[in-house]
Amino acid sequence: SYVLTQPPSVSVAPGKTARISCGGNNIGSKGVHWYQQKPGQAPVLVIYYDSDRPSGIPERFSGSNSGNTATLTISRVEAGDEADYYCQVWDTNSDFGVFGTGTKVTVL
């Protein structure tokens, strides 16, 4: 089945920019969705279809997708952004969701 690879961890200083990659074969041809999960909480959708933001998600969260890599960018990082982040696509062959391996973002 389709595999999505993320870096295990990303560290960033407050006020700086964090970029989280999600690699997959020709992922640019798929819609990519991103979730933020804080400890003890269910995931929250922060980006859908590559770059759209649900209502209530700050403009600091943005996304892009091309070739074999999708990227979630968090600008002007705040302490409250510290969380695990997962990318997700749809495996159209088998009709089920595929999640990335997850990235832990640490705010220094």
List residues binding another protein (CB under 8 A). Answer: 1, 31, 33, 35, 42-45, 48-49, 86, 88, 90, 92, 94-102
Shortest distance, position 29 Cβ to another protein, whole Å = 13
Shortest distance, position 14 Cβ to another protein, whole Å = 26
Other Cβ atoms less than 10 A from the Cβ of 84: the count is 16
Tokens of 47: 């980006």
Q: Which is nearer to another protein, 73 or 98 (CB)?
A: 98
**What residue spans of 11-92 are helical by DSSP H?**
none
Tokens of 45: 């959708």
Cβ neighbors of 45 (< 8 A, separation 6 or more) are: 33, 34, 35, 54, 57
